[in-house]
Structure 1
Amino acid sequence: MTKSAEKSKRRGDVTSYCDWMSQLPPELHNIPLFNLAIPGSHDSMSYDLDINSAIIEPDNLKRLSKIYCARKIVRKWAITQEETITKQLDAGVRYFDLRIARKRNDTNPTRLYFYHGLYTLTDVETVLNIINDWAERHPKEILILALSHFKGFDKKIEEHLHIHLINFIKTLFRAKLFHKMDIPTLKRCWDQGRNVIVSYDYPANQHPEIWSKITYYYGKSMDPTEVKSELRRALETRRPLPCFFVCGLNLTLPDDARTLRYILRLCDNLVNVIGRSLPKLLQWVEEQAEKTPMNIVASDLVTRDGFVSTVVKLNISKRV
């Protein structure tokens, strides 16, 4: 080990964000993961949206699904991540916002996709296999997978689809799944050889390996000032303890006709808007963390602007 590496280790600095959890100082190994600052990605699979997919949101554009330029517009305002799930993992992201949907009239009755405006090209089982392989190679990095929304789960097949997906998750990750009865710490996860936590936004109480929905706070606005104001209010008045919670830095398009003001900008897209706001939001995170604890901090464009390093470095202030 070089002198600079030894000095960094003594200070508790992280030198590789691909394995940042294993590099945290020993005094952080026994505190609940609820009390660590963990970088996460919002709409984690939106880099994979299929231009040939039907439009499934916003509602006022669904009828235009057959028009290519309409799908193209939706796609450029629905992409919130630029990099693959593997590159997000390698960059240090440890929480993933995975929104599930079933394609109408799919010939495979249990095949599921992700979505954000459009369906993804890649199906759910393929992506979960990729995540499982990564978790196998990085046993000291704890991954939190939040599955939610379940669009297109018609009532007649809803229960069957949930049973199929939960059983697939349990069979795939097996002993990697950390049970919800225990309070997760780095050391406890490492000692048990369990490094995957699955949160599922649908009742699954009979499965000890499946966690319930994780609270996600967000600003529901395209204005970063409004986002910061709403998040500050949530962190200071509504933050649940002790459990996981997400502070979402993501910008959100209006869910009514006002969305047209944005998506009809021919020379702009969501990635550009996010890129302009993210540095301000990250500065706010550093300032707010001095006043209120942060847990999972989720963002768009997670491989840009030092997002991961900003969040991970918040943990150094937790040293006792």
Structure 2
Amino acid sequence: MAGVKLNYKLADWMSHLPVSSVQTPLNLLAIPGSHNTFSYSISPSGDVGPDQPQWIQDLTRMFGTAGKDTLCRWALTQNLNVSQQLEQGIRYLDCRVCWFSKTQDFHFLHGLIGAKAATGLDEVSAFLVKHPKEVIILDFSHFYSMSNTDHVNLLTMLTDKFGSKMCPYIDMESVTLEMMWEHGLQVLIIYQNDIVKEHLTFWPRTTIRSPWANTSSIPDLMSFMDNQYKSGRTDNVFFGWQGVVTPGMATIVSNFGSSLKDTLAIKLAPFFVSWLKDKKTGCHGISICTMDFIEQANYVSTLIELNYNAC
């Protein structure tokens, strides 16, 4: 079925998968994700985030709005808001959160403080109500300026918002779309902090691996991806393929007036998507993928098609 054309809206792609995919463990499906999902909400008017080293915080304070404008251009990884991303077929959300003392609330962040976490999560919840057969993986991968009490409060917020729709931490082989539909489950939350050892509704950090190339070079990234694909992976975890390049200081300085999108992400997208086209799903294949600016190069539909090509 190579080259299958999707004849339905991407907002409902999971509900249209073939029976074989519906009965396959979720971690063995090809799942489109976005890198730094909520970064669309940052702006130069925001505060510098605690995820930044002290020297960047000092530098942006020194240069004021101009410094924060530069930081924003190189920290922004998504243009579409979370509702638009979900409507476009994204089902894995990369969540990076801090406790922000100025507002006394949880915020998403990347370089700069973004939207309140509750606001973004409410959009996710609203999407689930409209699309009862779609399943979303929320991966809380990074935390900043958070105490144990803050973690407990964030876990409580997540439980309050998603409640009975949350898939508990169980044997990976049992988690299929068929099983989740049968039990009215739509959300699987990975929470990468040891506090979840006491909260078994959440999935611990050991349930996902996401090797990071940490390079600004497209050829080096593609070589890294090739090596990962050839070496295979275990079938008892989620596996993240990070189709992202990371700007170093030299890249930013030599392209100072540009942005992550124009200098790197737009150039990478066709190479990453082309690389995906002949790959397979399954225990040694493609699983979760992430990319900057997910609307580029037919990324989402290319990835979804892999679930048909496996049949």
Structure 1 length normalisation: TM-score?
A: 0.88
Q: Are the equivalent residues in 2 in contact too, given 1:77–1:270 (CA < 8 A)?
A: yes
Shift of 1:241: 2.1
Q: CA deviation at 1:264?
A: 5.2
SS in 2 for 1:287: coil
2:30–2:288: 8 Å Cα contact kept in structure 1?
yes
| Aligned position for 1:3 | none
**Counterpart position of 1:302:** 294
Residue 233 of structure 1 aligns to which amino acid in structure 2? N
The answer to whether structure 1 residue 40 and structure 2 residue 40 are counterparts is no
* 2:265 matches 1:268: no
Looking at both structures, which has the greater relative contact order when contacts are Cα pairs under 8 Å and sequence separation is at least 6? 2
CA contact (8 A) 1:55 1:64 kept: no
CA drift of 1:52 comes to 2.5
Q: What residue is the counterpart of 2:94 in the other structure?
A: 97
Q: Distance in 2 between matches of 1:71 and 1:263?
A: 15
Residue 58 of structure 2 is matched in structure 1 by 63
1:16-40 deviation line (CA, Å, top 9, x unaligned): 2110000111121111011100000
Per-residue CA shift, 1:196-218, capped at 9, x if unaligned? 00010102022221011221123
2:164 is matched with 175
Q: Structure 2: how far apart are the matches of 1:288 and 1:230?
A: 15
What CA distance in whole angstroms lies between the structure 2 residues aligned with 1:124 and 1:30?
33
Give the 3 Å change call, closer, same or farther, for CA 266–184 of structure 1 in structure 2: same
Aligned to 1:311: 303
Q: How many residues align?
A: 298
Tell whether the 8 Å contact from 2:99 to 2:150 is kept in structure 1 after alignment. Answer: no
Q: How does 1:184-223 map to 2 (within 5 A)?
A: 184-203=175-194, 204-213=196-205, 214-223=208-217
CA displacement, residues 64-109 of structure 1 (integer Å, 9 cap, x when unaligned): 2321111100100111101000000000000000101122x3252x
SS of 1:102's equivalent in the other structure is strand
Q: Percent identity?
A: 25
Residue type matched to 1:245 in 2?
A: F
Distance in 1, matches of 2:237 and 2:92, equals: 14
What's the RMSD between the two structures over aligned residues?
2.0
- Whether 2:272 is the aligned partner of 1:278: answer no
- Tell me the equivalent position of 1:106: 102
Q: CA deviation at 1:242?
A: 1.6
Structure 2 residues not aligned, in runs of 5+ = none
For 1:311 and 1:107, how far apart are their aligned partners in 2?
Answer: 39
- AA of the residue aligned to 1:73: T
Unaligned runs of 5+ in 1: 1-7
